[in-house]
């Protein structure tokens, strides 16, 4: 089979142990994103199977309609916010999904960003590399308030880490989050406004859904302290369009640490957050570590093996009538 893997940013999928499951096929990997839809179609046109690495490619109807040879779209992960499943079903393209959604790697990165941003680690390390000597004062974590917006699997691990650092944990979210907070001995905020007003560090751990898109707006951010840090390793779309940049310009909050962006990848430094000295940016590293990749890609490649052998698949569109 002809298998195409677009947007292997790290250029390392073939180094995973699970790659042995598909190595005998004709596999083509691309590291750099296609410049436009036409080039993307050119890359994928002859593929029997396309591996979708999370949300790095938007599989719209416009794209899928131009891939008449595609027999399977195999997802790395359980779902994709940028895949038109209805279009895939109408076109007879099965969408195979993963099982896992591990919270460990993104929670670890969230904690790393909190420590790095509050203690000016990236800023001072770069200054020292240039030959300068440190010239900033940072913020202590112990005794400060860690706000958690959404105490799900990731938020729970971040809260646990914050507590270990001596931070006071304050939680807001849906009823389930508030109940979990009380059970864990954390304080439940009185309201979303209370969370934003009192947090010294605020971590967004909300899952992106239609009802949570833009859930953090200018009024929320304006409530934050000028010394506060907001951290987003979840989804950029949780912010109302342009709200974070404008809030940082106004000084509330005073700092941000961000791993996700409205349009990815961000190349050539072309993003307003990268031009702000009070913002620590990382290139969507939340899930990018060896154990996580092996877990997610193995599940994806096992689905390709099952497809090759004519075995049942784990499908996002089980009612699809497959094209021949």
pLDDT digits (tens, 9 = 90+) for 69-104: 999 999 999 888 889 999 999 999 999 999 988 999
Is the distance from CB of 272 to CB of 245 less than 8 angstroms?
Answer: yes
pLDDT for residue 7 is more than 90: yes
Is residue 284 among the annotated active site residues?
Answer: yes
pLDDT of the residue at 318: 96
What is the pLDDT at residue 4? 98
Query: Residue 79 has what pLDDT?
Result: 81
At 101 the pLDDT is 85
Catalytic residue among 264, 289, 294, 308: 264
**CA-to-CA distance for 245 and 251, rounded, in angstroms?**
10
pLDDT mean over 160-177: 97
How does residue 323 score in pLDDT terms, banded at 50, 70 and 90? confident
Residue 179 annotated in active site? no
Report DSSP letters for 6-64, one per residue: ---TTS-GGGSGGGGGTTTSEEEE--SPPSSHHHHHHHHTT-SEEEEETTSS-B-HHHH
Mean pLDDT across 155-184:
97
| pLDDT tens by residue, 9-23 | 999 999 999 999 999
The per-residue pLDDT for 81 is 82
CB 231 within 8 A of CB 109: no
DSSP assignment of 273-324 equals GGG-TTEEE-SS-TT-SHHHHHHHHHHHHHHHHHHHTT----BS-TT-----
- The per-residue b/e assignment along 267-280, b for 16 or more CB within 10 angstroms, e otherwise, is eeeebebeebebbb
pLDDT mean over 30-53 = 97
pLDDT tens-digit readout, 153-162: 999 999 999 9
C-alpha distance from residue 299 to each of 18, 76, 200, 303, 304 (Å): 9, 7, 39, 6, 9
Catalytic option among 54, 223, 235, 298:
235
The dihedral of CA 152, 77, 31, 290: what is its sign?
Answer: positive
Place of tokens 């931070």: 167
| Per-residue confidence band for 179, with pLDDT thresholds at 50, 70 and 90 | very high
Q: Which domains does the chain have, with CATH numbers?
A: 2-101+289-308 (3.40.50.720), 104-281 (3.40.50.720)
pLDDT score of 131: 93
Q: What is the arithmetic mean of pLDDT over 245-263?
A: 97
Q: Which residue has the tokens 């898109």?
A: 213
Task: Give the pLDDT confidence score for residue 145 in this predicted structure.
Answer: 98
Q: How far is CA 220 from CA 239, 240, 247, 298, in A?
A: 10, 10, 10, 40
In the block, tokens 């997610």 appear at 296
Give the separation between CA 276 and CA 236, rounded to whole angstroms. Answer: 17
> Using CA atoms, how far apart are residues 178 and 189, in angstroms rounded to an integer?
8
d(CA 205, CA 296): 21
CA 113 to chain centre: 14
Residues 277-291 have pLDDT tens digits of 999 999 999 999 999
The model's pTM: 0.92
Catalytic residue among 118, 223, 271, 284: 284
Given this model, what pLDDT does residue 134 score?
A: 77
Provide the percentage of residues in the chain whose pLDDT is more than 90.
Answer: 94
Cα 260–chain centre separation: 6
Residues 111 and 131: their CA atoms lie apart, in Å, by 28
- Identify whether 235 is a catalytic site residue: yes
């Amino acid at each position: 089979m002809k298998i195409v893997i677009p947007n292997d940013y790290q250029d390392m999928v073939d180094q995973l142990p699970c790659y042995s499951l598909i190595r005998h096929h004709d596999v083509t990997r691309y590291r750099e994103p296609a410049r436009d839809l036409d080039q993307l179609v050119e890359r994928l046109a002859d593929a029997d199977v396309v591996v979708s690495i999370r949300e790095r490619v938007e599989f719209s109807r416009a794209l899928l309609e131009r891939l008449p040879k595609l027999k399977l779209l195999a997802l790395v992960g359980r779902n994709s916010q940028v895949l038109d499943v209805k279009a895939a079903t109408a076109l007879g393209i099965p969408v195979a999904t993963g099982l896992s959604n591990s919270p460990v790697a993104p929670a670890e990165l969230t904690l790393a960003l909190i420590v790095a941003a509050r203690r000016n680690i990236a800023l001072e390390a770069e200054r020292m590399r240039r030959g300068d000597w440190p010239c900033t004062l940072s913020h202590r974590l112990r005794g400060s308030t860690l706000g958690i917006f959404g105490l799900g699997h990731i938020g729970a691990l971040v809260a646990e880490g914050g507590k270990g650092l001596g931070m006071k944990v304050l939680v807001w979210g849906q009823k389930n989050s508030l109940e979990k907070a009380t059970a864990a001995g954390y304080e439940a905020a009185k309201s979303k406004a209370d969370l934003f007003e009192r947090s010294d560090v605020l971590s967004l751990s909300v899952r992106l859904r239609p009802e949570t898109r833009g859930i953090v707006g200018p009024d929320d951010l304006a409530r934050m302290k000028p010394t506060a840090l907001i951290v987003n390793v979840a989804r950029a779309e949780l912010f109302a369009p342009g709200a974070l940049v404008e809030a940082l310009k106004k000084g509330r909050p005073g700092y941000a640490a961000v791993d996700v962006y409205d349009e990815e990848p961000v190349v050539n430094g072309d993003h307003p957050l990268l031009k702000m000295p009070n913002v620590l940016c990382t290139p969507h590293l939340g899930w990018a570590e060896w154990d996580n990749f092996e877990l997610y890609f193995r599940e994806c490649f096992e689905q390709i093996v099952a497809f090759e052998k004519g075995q049942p698949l784990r499908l996002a569109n089980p009612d699809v009538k497959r094209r021949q």
